[in-house]
Structures are given as structure tokens and as C-alpha cells.
Amino acid sequence: MISSTFRFCLLLLLNLSLSLSLSAQTPPFASERPGGAGSDPLESPRDLSGRSVKTCRVRAVHGTELPGSSGWLMRNDPWLAYQRGRELSLREYSLADGAFGESGKLRGKTQDDGATVLGSSNHVNSCVACHNVPWRDMGSGITIQKNSGAGRNTPHLFGGGLVEMVGQEIRRQLLASVDRNGNGWVELMEATGQALVEPTPGQQLDFGSFADEDGDGRPDLNPVVYVWYLDGDGKRIPWARDLSAAGVAGYNFEVQVFGFGQRDRVGHGGLSSTLRAVSSNAFDIHSGLQAHDPTANLEPRLDGLSQISLAGAQQFYSGFTRDAGTVLGPGGISLDDPDRDGVIEEISEGDMDLIEFFLLNHPAPTQTGGARFERGRKLFAASGCVECHVSDWRVPQDRRFFDLQVSSGRGQLQATRPGPLLVKGVFSDFRHHDLGPEFHEMQYDGSQIKKFRTTPLWGVGTTGPYGHDGASLSLEAVIRRHGGEAAPARDRYLALEEAERDHLLAFLSSLVLYSTETLPTDLDGDGVISEHFTVAGVDTGGELFNPEWLFRLPGRIEGWVEVNSGRVLSKALVNLQEAYGESLPGLKDLDRDGFPDWWLRRPAPRKS
Ligand code: HEC
Ligand code: HEC
């Protein structure tokens, strides 16, 4: 009793001195709830559940050598890199972070009345405000304003890295089949033949033709393939929109597997082909935060390919960010401030490394199984749904650092092996299809989007409403809505016995998401999920999938404490600063200005 009161006072004292020294500077870059049982809830918001964002926002340094920099963390403390990337998706950004610089400003071309603009930017200050189900896990979510009155439903990002790898594999196979001289792009002479892709050996999908057979000036590839045009030296011609533009000697492409389908630029496929590019765009559009991201913005050979990220993904010019870093300050910070809100370098290249790393590794959805599952799955295949909703994809290289196998509501943490990987149960061919008028979308300008990407069906049991527009309120309704290219499959579905249709629906309903942070998981690989999982010498209760337990210096929780409602297990960390690496030079920010102190001490780079 005495010792616990003593500890409480000590904590109070510590907290007092800390809050005094900080309040003198009124730190703008606060964390959500850093405190524990001993903290004054007004001075230092507290969270005994331990699930809030605990660290203050500090821009991550891009690099591999400096301890605490993005690449250094990915290599030396990958779970901390993952957690810090995850925090970037959870944070609610404030004015001090540069959120909403152009708040109130809408997006797109001005309409005929000279005043109204095309659409809204759906301003919110956090990724998980939309990617909201399950809570704090980059799941699926609300339907938002798009270029049409119909709206756009928010997809989930479970298994996002696997989807990115499939997209890269589609590109690799297409390029390998057409680029006969191996110079990395498609010369006009080479641009012939059918574009075929093998999801798994022996299976073939038709991605259209490399040639322009319909005479519209563009290669007849599936719209998921986003094409740009090159001159005889293989350099991108920025203004070229088709093969007939002056000087065009060929083309190159990326496979935009993310996004349901866009037509806001000529030949545009989906949102993007990389997690990084979608994310920097989302930061800018939805939260008014512009990334200064040389990884995406430098195009060394001016050929449409920008750099390869630290997490190993080729980036493309289509992912250029608005903060181009035309004027650089200390340490290479961009002074551009494109939204003129007085906050510079709102999202750093290192931040982009970390959020990409998190999304790359975010675990895949799971399935709840059962006898009906297998029967339903067979009927799904027999009805021809698998012609588009292709179950498995083989990728030659797994870039993730862990795999979480989830079944029956329990997780098993596993290391990944470099080399080939079978991505199981994603249920998409990643092509765009015309499913008939029920899915067509008229945009505000009257133009029609007719083709949409086959939605990957993993997770579909928990992601309603359905359709790119979220207009179908049940699985049954969205399946019945299929027509066009999918009419034969829909008719086979409708011809099933009612009990069979139930099996098929039960199969789809069993493809689910789950809350990662409450998932009972065998973290230490001892084959059991302990009821008393001990981390840093303290019993944390049931063994859960909590990245903090896997840090190089694992988080140590407060443990059992008395609060006015009784005794509770406090999961607030008592070694927050050490565990989260806050004294590493790449992360240390004593003056709380949102930049590591090390960074601003460096001179501005000279521009040649
Ligand atoms: C205002 C709501 C909203 C916010 C905020 C938001 N997103 Fe999204 N996100 C969407 C919608 C809607 C789509 C689908 C867009 C489309 O296809 O047209 C999407 C798609 C994506 C995709 C592609 C997923 C896929 O399978 O196609 C990624 C990756 C993504 N968002 C990441 C992010 C990140 C990272 C953030 C935070 C920086 C973020 N999003 C913030 C609504 C949102
Ligand atoms: C010709 C290709 C094709 C076939 C065949 C096909 N689908 Fe689809 N499916 C799609 C496309 C494309 C979408 C996305 C439509 C949209 O939202 O615009 C989709 C969407 C869905 C969705 C909604 C997913 C979501 O999260 O919104 C479900 C469920 C679905 N399909 C189930 C089925 C079933 C069951 C069958 C067989 C009876 C089937 N599909 C056959 C292409 C196909």
C-alpha cells in the first residue's frame, strides 16, 4: 500500500515537472493520450486501454543510416516502423500539422454557372475517419462524394500489400511478354499481340491487346493498365495523349490495381498502382496535407518511372505529389507550402516510407470457414463467378516482414520467407469490366463510367454496403445487380436452388475482416495463446496482436491499478519514450516543433 502510494506520488511529480516544462512552450504536436493512471487527465490526457496514439507527431526522416530514420527502423525495429506508420493512419491531424490549409475550398473544374465546382474533397482529418470498420484498422467505410451524384464507397485496406504485389506482378508479366528487346518499354514495332497474364501457372487472363486495333489511337489494353507515351529515346512526352502525338515512338504503363475505376484523366485506370501514391493523394485531398516525397517525385531517366521506395515498390510519375520541393530549407525541408497555410513539409518522405510500410504489411482478411463454406465456394466456382473473382495469385517475391494467419478468431504470427508466395482467396482478376447499366455511373459532366475493377471479395462479409457506389445494401442485391459481361454468371446464380444460393451467400459472408488489436494471437510462436502473456516482466493479460509487444524494446505496461471504478489492468506504457525510440536522433524532438532536432541543424542542400 505504502509503496504504491509512493509510486503514485513519484509519477505525479514526474508528470508535473514534465507538464510544466512543456506548457511553457505550449507544444503544438501533441499525442492523443500519452498518459497513464497517474496522469492528470487535463494536463496529460490518459488512456488506460493503451489503444490511443501515444507519441507526439514528429516528421520521420527518410534514410537508412541514421538511427530512428525510416529505413533504419524498417531494418532494425520493424514493428516500431509498422506502428509508427499505423499511427499516421490513425492520427487526427490538427491545424498545427497543416490540416485543411484550403479548408472550404472544393475540388475540380468550375461549372457553367462560373461558381460551383465539380466536387468536394471530403475533408476529414484522419484516414480512419473513412476507413473505419473495424475501428482503427484501415477497414472499409463511408460512401463519399465523387465526380458523380452516386458517390464512392470506401474499401478496406486489409492485405493491401498483397494487392500491390499482385499489381506489380501483372505489370512484370505484361512487360516481359511484349518488350522483346528488353529495354524496359514498348516500342511501336513491339506493340502487337494479345496481353495475357497468368495468375497461377497454367491459368490465363486476357488483358486486351498491345496494339491499337480499334483505331482510337491508344493500345487496346484493359483500363486497369494506365499507359503513357515515350519518344525515341524512351523519354516521356508529357503532353502526348495517344500514339498519334508528334514524336511518339512507343509507350510504357503501370497497372493501377487500387481504386474502383476513374476517368478523370485520359486513359486513367484506377487510383494508382502503389500504396504510397494512393496514400499521399489521400493525405492531400482529404486532409489538406501535402507530402514532399522525392521517392515519388524524382524521375531520374524522365521515362515515367520514379524511384523504388525503401519498402521495394517501383513508383511512377502519376504519383507525383503537390509539394515538389522547389525551394529547400535546412536539411532539405521543402519550403513550398503549396496550400499556403504556413505549415511546411506537412508530410515528409520518411512519413511516406512508414505509412507505405504499414499498409504493405497490414494483414489480410480471413474466413470463418465451416461446412457451408466449402459447398458455397464450389457453387461460386460453378456459377462462373471465378472468371472475374479469381481466387489466388502467385507473386514471385514477398516483400512483407510478417504474416498473420487468422482462423477461428485466433491469430498465428509467422515470419515471411523471401521468394514466391501464393496470395490466397483475394477473389479478383484486377481487370475492369462492364457489368451493364445497373452499374454505369454518369458523372456530373454527363460522361459515363461503364467499367469498374472487379472488387476483391476478401473481407466482403463485413464491408457492406456494396458496389463502387455503396448503393447495394446486401450481398444478394449486389449479385443480382450484375449484368453485362457478368450476365451469364448472374443467370447461373439465379438458376440455383434457394438452398444453394444460401450456401453461396454463406460462403461470401464468411470472408471477413477482424480487429487486429483485439485479436487473440500466438505472438511468440510457442503454439499457445497465453491468458497471462508476460511482456517486459509484466502480465499483460491475454496474448493479443499488439505491435508494442514486439518492439526492439518492448512496451512495459502499468499493470493493475486502482481507479475510482475499481481495479483495472492499465495498458498505458511506463517506458513510452524508450519503447517508441523517442531519443533516437531520427525521432528526438525536444522543442516539439514536429521536426527531429537533428534534422533542422543540417544546412540546406545546394541546388545545382
Ligand atoms: C474521405 C474519406 C477517405 C479518407 C479520409 C481516406 N480515404 Fe482512402 N479511400 C476512400 C475511398 C472512397 C476510396 C476508393 C476511391 C475510389 O476508388 O474512387 C479509397 C481508397 C483507398 C485506397 C485504395 C484501396 C483499394 O483497394 O482500392 C488506399 C490505399 C487508401 N484509400 C488509403 C488511404 C490513406 C492512407 C488515407 C489517409 C492518408 C486515406 N485513404 C484516407 C476514402 C477515404
Ligand atoms: C464479368 C466479371 C464478373 C463476374 C463473372 C462476376 N463479377 Fe462480381 N463483380 C465484378 C465487378 C467488376 C464488380 C465491381 C462492380 C462495381 O462495384 O462497380 C463486382 C462486384 C461484386 C460484389 C460486390 C463487392 C463489393 O464489396 O462491393 C460481389 C459480392 C460480387 N461481385 C459477387 C459476384 C458473384 C457471387 C458472382 C457470380 C454469380 C460474380 N460476382 C460474378 C465482376 C464480376
Q: State the total domains in the chain.
A: 2
**What is the pLDDT, as a whole number, of residue 10?**
36
pLDDT of residue 269: 63
Buried b (16+ CB within 10 A) or exposed e, 44-53: bebbbebbbb
Average pLDDT over residues 538-550: 97
| Burial bucket for residue 402 (CB in 10 Å: 0-12, 13-18, 19+) | middle
Residues 237 and 374 placed together within one structural domain of the fold: no
What pLDDT shows up at residue 265? 55
Examine residue 393 and state whether it is found in any structural domain, yes or no.
yes
Q: Which one of 211, 227, 255 terminates a domain?
A: 255
Check whether residue 383 and residue 506 sit in a common domain. Answer: yes
Closest C-alpha to 571, from 37, 134, 7 = 37
Cα distance between residue 235 and residue 595, in whole Å: 37
3-state secondary structure 58-78: CCCCCCCCCCCCHHHHHHHCH
472 occurs within a structural domain: yes
What confidence category does residue 1 fall into, taking pLDDT thresholds of 50, 70 and 90? very low
Distance from C-alpha of 385 to C-alpha of 494, rounded to nearest angstrom:
12
pLDDT of 446 reads 84
| Residue nearest atom 26 in ligand 2 by C-alpha distance | 466
Instruction: Tell me the pLDDT of the chain averaged across its residues.
Output: 91
Closest ligand to the CA of 153: 1
251 occurs within a structural domain: yes
Three-state SS for 180?
A: coil
Reported confidence tier of residue 359, pLDDT bands at 50, 70, 90: very high
Residues 371 and 506 in one domain: yes
Domain residues for the domain of 187 are 160-255
When mean pLDDT is compared over 260-274, 311-325, 362-376, the highest value belongs to 311-325
* Residue 102: per-residue pLDDT: 63
Q: CA–CA separation, 291 vs 261, rounded Å? A: 24
- pLDDT at position 437 is 97
> Could you give the angle at the alpha carbon of 316 between the alpha carbons of 314 and 317, nearest 5°?
155
Which atom of ligand 1 is nearest the CA belonging to 279?
A: 35
Q: Does 489 contact ligand 2 (Cβ within 6 A)?
A: yes
Mean pLDDT of 547-575: 96
- Which pTM value belongs to this model? 0.94
Query: In whole angstroms, what is the distance from residue 552 CA to residue 321 CA?
Result: 33
Average pLDDT over every residue of 311-323: 96
Tens digit of each residue's pLDDT (9 = 90 or more) over 321-345:
999 999 999 889 999 999 888 999 9
| pLDDT at residue 409 tops 60 | yes
Residue 496 included in any domain: yes
Residue 22 banded pLDDT, cuts 50, 70, 90 = very low
> Given 512, 532, 567, which residue is the final one in a domain?
512
Which numbered atom of ligand 2 lies nearest the CA of 433? 12
CATH of the domain at 485: 1.10.760
- Name the DSSP class of 415: E
Q: Do strands 186-187 and 131-133 pair parallel, antiparallel, or not at all (unpaired)? A: unpaired
Domain boundary among 192, 222, 255: 255
Residue from 262, 435, 439, 494 whose mutation best tests the ligand 2 pocket (most atoms within 8 A of CB): 435
* Confidence at 17, pLDDT banded by 50, 70, 90: very low
Q: How many of the other CB atoms lie within 10 Å of CB of 79?
A: 19
- Residue 355: inside a domain: no
With respect to residue 248, please indicate whether it lies within any of the assigned structural domains. Answer: yes
For residue 560, give the amino acid letter: W
Let me know if residue 415 belongs to a domain. Answer: yes
Q: Is the CB of 387 under 6 A from ligand 2?
A: yes
Residue 589 lies in a domain: no
Do residue 372 and residue 506 come from a single domain? yes
Is the same domain home to 372 and 251?
no
More confident call, 295 vs 262: 295
Query: How far away, in angstroms, is 169 Cα from ligand 2 center?
Result: 22
> For residue 117, what pLDDT is reported?
62
Confidence of residue 23 (pLDDT cuts 50, 70, 90): very low
What integer is the mean pLDDT of 472-498? 98
